[in-house]
Amino acid sequence: MRTGGQILGGIDAGGTSFRCIVATGPGQILAEERFATTSPDETLARAAAFFADGPGRQAAAIGIACFGPVAVDPAHPRYGTILSTPKHGWSFCDVLGPIRAASGRPVAIETDVIAAALGERQWGAGQGEDNLAYVTVGTGVGAGILSQGKPFHGALHSEAGHIRVPRHPDDGAFAGVCRFHGDCLEGLASAPALAARWGCDPADLPDDHQAWEIEAHYLAHLCATLVLVGAVRRVILGGGVCARSGLVGRVARRAGDLLGGYEASLDVDGHAIVVPPGLGLQAGSLGALVVAASACPV
């Protein structure tokens, strides 16, 4: 799924905000708009309107990078629909249908993390690598895996945020915040988990706070699992929480300790296994362009 310099549309459909762009890539963004995620009807209507007028009409196809869980298999009876989600009012919401109907253009949908992985592979920290994972840590924790350059999906899609991880020795009393599992990875390491555990906005915690050592412990276990089970050679850590200064480095060191030198067999090109995103917070919207390219007529 390469963009080939086409003018394409992308929607980074997040639980907090939507970002719509028309572009050929990171160097040529022709139009963009960001707005809060409110009700499905209001939010999707605003996204559709972006592609109805002005530069938005130039897009040959539209790709959606969507929060989930979402049905991304075209053979699924609910293709393009968000399934049961903690985001109030959005469970079983058809995201793809309204955008396709309003725009009259080909539309494809992927998970936000798979789209970000595709964007990073084309323009960012995943260039030249066919087997990689993109992890986002924010309102939730998600991981998108590319295997041989293609999205890895099965019965649904990877839900790595809901795996169980060993407790940090200093974190035994925290119950976790996941409404499904309590103290799964997402329940322990997401932004809401940080806020609940420490009683404040994570952004207000200093860099030397104990919170970040505990956070690195949990994310390192995820990274080690992705290397060992997902057979990836690079793990890209994105999302608002991972933008914290020094956190990615802490995770990389701890993951190396957990892997016990095994990762050295993968590091044949001199690149680190755990790295920050090259596209920053634009990985989702730019990745949506790669998803859009898959919907273009051959």
Model confidence, pTM: 0.92
Could you tell me if 118 and 125 are in contact, meaning their C-beta atoms sit under 8 angstroms apart?
Answer: no
**CA separation for the pair 73, 238 (Å, rounded):** 25
Burial of 69 (0-12, 13-18, 19+ CB in 10 A): middle
Q: What are phi and psi of 78, to 5 degrees?
A: -110, 30
**CA separation for the pair 198, 193 (Å, rounded):** 9
Please say if the pLDDT value at position 163 is more than 60: yes
What are 104-158's pLDDT values in tens digits?
999 999 999 999 999 999 999 999 999 999 999 998 899 999 999 999 876 566 7
What architecture does CATH give domain 127-277?
A: 2-Layer Sandwich (3.30)
**CA separation for the pair 236, 234 (Å, rounded):** 6
In sequence order, which ranges of 51-178 are alpha helices (DSSP H)?
96-103, 112-123
CA 142 to chain centre: 6
DSSP state of 81: B
User: pLDDT band at 266, cuts 50/70/90?
Assistant: low
Q: How far is CA 293 from CA 23, 60, 274, in A?
A: 12, 9, 28
What are 37-93's pLDDT values in tens digits?
999 999 999 999 999 988 778 899 999 999 988 999 988 999 999 998 878 999 999
Give the domain ranges of the chain: 8-115+281-293, 127-277
Check if 8-115+281-293 and 127-277 are the same fold: yes
Type of residue at 206: P
Task: Tell me which CATH code domain 8-115+281-293 carries.
Answer: 3.30.420.40
Type of residue at 150: K
